């Protein structure tokens, strides 16, 4: 568990005066708890939310415990173009510079990028490129496996920075499909939905539908995601997905799928399942489900992804 931060530490970390910080706290722009002795303490997730909200530059990441960030200049990525971000990310990932990759992901997030933009953008694009290396040399397979692990580190680290959720927050549960060994897409989905305010429970790769349903019932999940990168038996998958969607409906939950092998399934065969093409679409779907759970005059229906694409 991260150590709470004092106003002085946060002020020094972002290069502002302690009095400004205390004023923002008094104005309610930054929430802080009081110790028994009356001193303010700020949770790391709240400090990160505040930094993102005011667009501050973190000049002393070590004071926030973000030690990987010392690998990058403080004003990265604001002084580089999105294209240079992609190139730098790809280069660090392909060459196994794990700390730099983790730092880039943190830095993009602190700089205001949505997790979905990081995942659909530099991370997915680098993995696509890295996935072709094995065609030219056997070493490419080493690079591919190493890159997957580094991305897993970076995504998990990002999950720790997401806004704090209380225990009453709705739960999202998900995994990769039954015969699907791919770890990263489901992990990304967990991070994206965690950032939307869900308590995210990721069951990882190769998860049978009965296991996922068990978890969804246990947590009374309002959203279930399934990542489908490979579907050796599509007819069975469609059948499983429809059964799962029917069971979920009974508890007011929604099923959303995505992934390379999901986009080929005709939506008409999955009447109660939303099919999303990217993490950005998943974030939009997650926010829609969240909004539908708000009590005052809201309808309990999932957002229609076809409407948001139009």
Beta carbon of residue 70, minimum distance to ligand B12 (angstroms, whole number):
27
Nearest to 113 by CA among 104, 101, 126, 100: 104
Length of the chain as a residue count? 310
Do residues 263 and 290 make contact, with C-beta atoms less than 8 angstroms apart? no
CB closer to ligand B12 out of 76 and 225:
225
Whether residue 186 contacts residue 202, with contact meaning beta carbons closer than 8 Å, is answered with yes
- Spatial contact of 105 and 66, defined as CB atoms under 8 Å apart: no
Q: Which is nearer to ligand B12, 42 or 187 (CB)?
A: 187
Closer of 111 and 174 to ligand B12 (Cβ): 174
Q: Are 187 and 152 in contact (CB under 8 A)?
A: yes
Shortest Å distance, C-beta 120 to ligand B12: 4
Tell me the C-alpha distance between 147 and 100, whole Å.
12
Instruction: State which residue, 86 or 124, has the beta carbon closest to ligand B12.
Output: 124
- Structural tokens at position 242: 């429809």
Instruction: Using the minimum distance from each CB to ligand B12, give the nearer residue, 52 or 260.
Output: 260
CB of 135 to ligand B12, least distance (A): 7
Q: How far is CA 215 from the centre of its chain?
A: 20
Nearer to ligand B12, 13 or 228 (CB): 228
- Span between the terminal Cα atoms of the chain, in Å: 43
Q: Please give the Cα distance from 189 to 111 (Å, whole number).
A: 21
Q: How far is the CB of 52 from ligand B12 (least distance, A)?
A: 21
Q: C-beta of 136: minimal distance to ligand B12 in Å?
A: 11
Q: Which residue has the tokens 């591919």?
A: 144
- Minimum CB–partner distance for residue 195 and ligand B12 (Å): 14
Q: Which is nearer to ligand B12, 104 or 257 (CB)?
A: 257
Provide the greatest CA pair distance for the chain.
Answer: 64
Q: How far apart are CA 90 and CA 164, in angstroms?
A: 30
Q: Which residue is nearest to ligand B12 (CB)?
A: 258
- To ligand B12, the closest distance from the beta carbon of 198 in angstroms equals 13
Q: Pick the closest to residue 279 from 194, 199, 207, 211 (CA basis).
A: 194
Tokens of 166: 């209380």
Give the three-class secondary structure for 191: helix
Find the shortest distance in angstroms from Cβ 104 to ligand B12: 16
Pairing of strands 33-34, 40-41: antiparallel
**Site for ligand B12, rule CB under 6 A:** 119-120, 124, 127-128, 130-132, 144, 148, 181-185, 188-189, 205, 225, 227, 229-230, 256-260, 276, 278-279, 281-282
C-alpha to C-alpha distance for 267 and 281, rounded to whole angstroms:
16
State which residue, 111 or 259, has the beta carbon closest to ligand B12: 259
């Amino acid at each position: 568990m991260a150590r709470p931060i004092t106003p002085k530490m946060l002020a020094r970390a972002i290069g502002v005066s302690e009095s400004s910080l205390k004023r923002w706290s008094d104005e309610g722009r930054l929430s802080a708890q009081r110790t028994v002795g009356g001193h303010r303490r700020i949770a790391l997730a709240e400090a990160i939310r505040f930094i993102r909200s005011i667009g501050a530059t973190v000049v002393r990441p070590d004071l926030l415990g973000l030690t990987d960030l010392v690998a990058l200049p403080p004003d990265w990525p604001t002084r580089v173009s999105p294209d240079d971000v992609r190139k730098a990310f790809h280069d660090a990932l392909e060459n196994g510079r794990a700390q730099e990759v983790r730092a880039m992901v943190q830095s993009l997030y602190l700089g205001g990028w949505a997790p979905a933009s990081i995942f659909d953008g530099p991370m997915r694009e680098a993995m696509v490129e890295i996935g072709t290396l094995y065609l030219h040399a056997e070493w490419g397979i080493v690079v591919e496996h190493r890159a997957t692990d580094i991305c897993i580190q970076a995504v998990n680290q990002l999950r720790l920075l997401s806004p704090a959720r209380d225990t009453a927050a709705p739960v999202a549960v998900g995994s990769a499909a039954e015969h699907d060994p791919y770890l990263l897409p489901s992990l990304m989905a967990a991070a994206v939905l965690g950032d939307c305010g869900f308590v995210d429970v990721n069951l990882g790769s190769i998860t049978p539908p009965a296991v996922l349903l068990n978890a969804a019932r246990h947590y009374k999940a309002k959203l279930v995601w399934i990542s489908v990168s490979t579907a050796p038996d599509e007819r069975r998958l469609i059948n499983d997905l429809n059964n799962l969607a029917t069971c979920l409906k009974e508890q007011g939950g929604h099923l959303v799928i995505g992934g390379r092998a999901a986009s080929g399934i005709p939506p008409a065969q999955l009447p109660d399942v939303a099919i999303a093409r990217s993490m950005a679409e998943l974030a939009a779907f997650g926010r829609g489900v969240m909004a539908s759970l708000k009590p005052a005059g809201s309808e309990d229906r999932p957002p229609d992804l076809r409407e948001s694409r139009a």
